[in-house]
């Protein structure tokens, strides 16, 4: 027989897997859409963040390329599930094209993120947003999140949570942007 706390934890885990991890800052829980601060068509907010190797990445330096910004946390079950898909369906498909992909760890440091990236055999840059400064220009809560930025620096796709249908739309947005000179 299940105990009540076990059932509550189990139901929370199932809901988290289906949608995404909130990681909000208390109070009423808004929807992922309500926590989104960007919109398709706007210029992606610029940021500079350290990479795991202590170099810095600045989004505006990638102008002229198609960029996928992936926000995640190592403790987030949907982020973990999405990571293998990112490697197999995005990185391996587009890495040799005019494409940049960065995964940005929200509120985690290199001691936690480096082993996580290694576990998923990730070869793309992992950035550290320890104080959530870059993330705060894109959203208030919920991960994973993905933003596809075109060659001109405009957001052409964004999503929150991990569902295969949205992931497929993201891949199509990347493919279309890469086909546009």
Q: What is the pTM of this model?
A: 0.84
Q: The tokens of 29 are what?
A: 């829980």
Q: CB 77: neighbour CB atoms within 10 A?
A: 15
Total domains, the chain: 1
Q: How far apart are CA 61 and CA 28, in angstroms?
A: 38
pLDDT digits (tens, 9 = 90+) for 16-54: 434 457 554 445 787 877 787 799 999 999 999 999 998
CATH number at residue 68: 3.40.30.10
pLDDT of 13 strictly over 50: no
Expressed as residue numbers, the domain containing 132 is 4-179
HSE toward the beta carbon, residue 8, CA cutoff 13 A:
3
Nearest partner of 107 among 122, 88, 128, 123, judged by Cα = 128
């Amino acid at each position: 027989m299940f105990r009540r706390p076990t059932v509550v934890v189990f139901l929370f885990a199932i809901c988290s897997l289906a949608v995404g991890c909130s990681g909000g800052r208390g109070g009423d829980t808004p929807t992922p859409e309500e926590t989104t601060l960007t919109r398709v068509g706007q210029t992606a907010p610029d940021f500079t963040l350290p990479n795991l190797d202590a170099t810095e990445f600045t989004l505006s330096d990638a102008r002229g390329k198609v960029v996928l910004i992936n926000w995640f946390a190592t403790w987030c079950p949907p982020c973990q599930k999405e990571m293998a898909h990112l490697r197999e369906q995005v990185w391996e498909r587009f890495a040799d094209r005019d494409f940049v992909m960065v995964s940005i760890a929200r509120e985690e440091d290199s001691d936690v993120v480096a082993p996580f990236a290694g576990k998923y055999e990730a070869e793309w840059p992992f950035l550290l947003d320890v104080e959530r400064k870059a993330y705060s220009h894109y959203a208030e809560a919920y991960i994973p999140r993905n933003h596809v930025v075109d060659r001109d620096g405009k957001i052409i796709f964004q999503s929150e949570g991990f569902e295969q249908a949205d992931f497929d739309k993201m891949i199509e947005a990347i493919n279309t942007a890469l086909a546009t000179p």
